[in-house]
Structure 1
């Protein structure tokens, strides 16, 4: 098993995904996946120009068969040492239905598909969001979101009750589900000698974040960065450094948990801005 070539699987070819590829992909095959073939090929070409070995696959993370094909190709290509799920959509530029299908269901499908091919040393990191720490859910709702089979997730009452135009509410719900679903999956990954975690960034300077800044919540977003004291967004490189830790040898005893990477925004919101985190 140790003689098999190393593979890094990355979903999402945007700023976060390419930063992660540059940080942890050297010397390994990068299997890069995205829903957009043109975006995928642009990112792959840039990485290849820098010396990375890159394979590509068009994947719809909201489709179980598509995600399963990605996991099976990764297993056939080599030893998947790292699986980093960055693919997602934003509340500002999407619809409630798409947020729930991509950010909620898509992450659940990735967790399940790679659980089936996980082997000793595999580390899965799903990019959630600081927003998940602001969710106000009951213990029962959290249990349902964490453990319900993926095929039934979108039928849960807590999901169906999201108002049709509340994209922010859908996003918060989805990202909280990402965090707790990874926690619930940690037992199965441990039994395979693997591990799984989430990373919850605040504002990271990517094309998606810049689009959000132009939306209705952009001014509030930037004001919170100032109010919490950090005064700036994070960089894709900072996120990639955290992912390198979560997928590297120094975190072998870390699984089933979330790393909050937000410059202190969530702490400011909870303790200084009056945003509670208990049940509604």
Structure 2
């Protein structure tokens, strides 16, 4: 999980960053899941953001003994966003979106599968009371890539209908 999601994304962003031109814009898709993780602290966040790509998987926080399970690995992989500074030196911008559950054929299978009750409960207890559509997530990406988003860079946009807020402060809090 870390080699693909974290390292793979870091390599991709580094390589695109080498050829990005002034005015270039990138938007990555992350996940709501990373927002549910406990705060790692400024030192670890800094290391995840600034460690050279080839040394990233050597960080202590990413060693197998420190990874609780596959969900934890997935959440850690969604935390890298340090390339905004490097891209900014070239006059380019980079942001990420962190969608919650989006209605896709795979998600529909999940809704109707063994975890269906989990999802139905989450939707019932989050402010939006439903999953997102792909168009709703795409609308945020469109803004970020358009001239209307020209001042936005180095940011991550949580698009989850308030599920994460409910997880920390609302009806889903008791289900941590």
Gaps of 5+ in 2: none
> Which structure shows the higher strand fraction?
1
Aligned-CA RMSD value:
1.9
Q: TM-score, structure 2 length as denominator?
A: 0.87
Aligned pair 1:162/2:59, yes or no? Answer: no
> Which structure shows the higher helix fraction?
2
Paired residues for 1:1-280 under 5 Å: 99-136=1-38, 137-160=40-63, 161-163=66-68, 166-175=69-78, 177=79, 181-182=80-81, 184-213=82-111, 217-272=115-170, 273-274=172-173
Gaps of 5+ in 1: 1-98, 276-280
Q: Distance in 1 between matches of 2:61 and 2:142?
A: 34
Q: Distance in 1 between matches of 2:109 and 2:48?
A: 29
Shift of 1:210: 3.7
Q: Which has the higher contact order (CA 8 A, sep 6+)?
A: 2
Q: Distance in 2 between matches of 1:141 and 1:217?
A: 33
Partner SS state of residue 230, structure 1: coil
Q: TM-score, structure 1 length as denominator?
A: 0.56
Aligned residues: 170
Shift of 1:212: 4.5
Partner SS state of residue 197, structure 1: strand
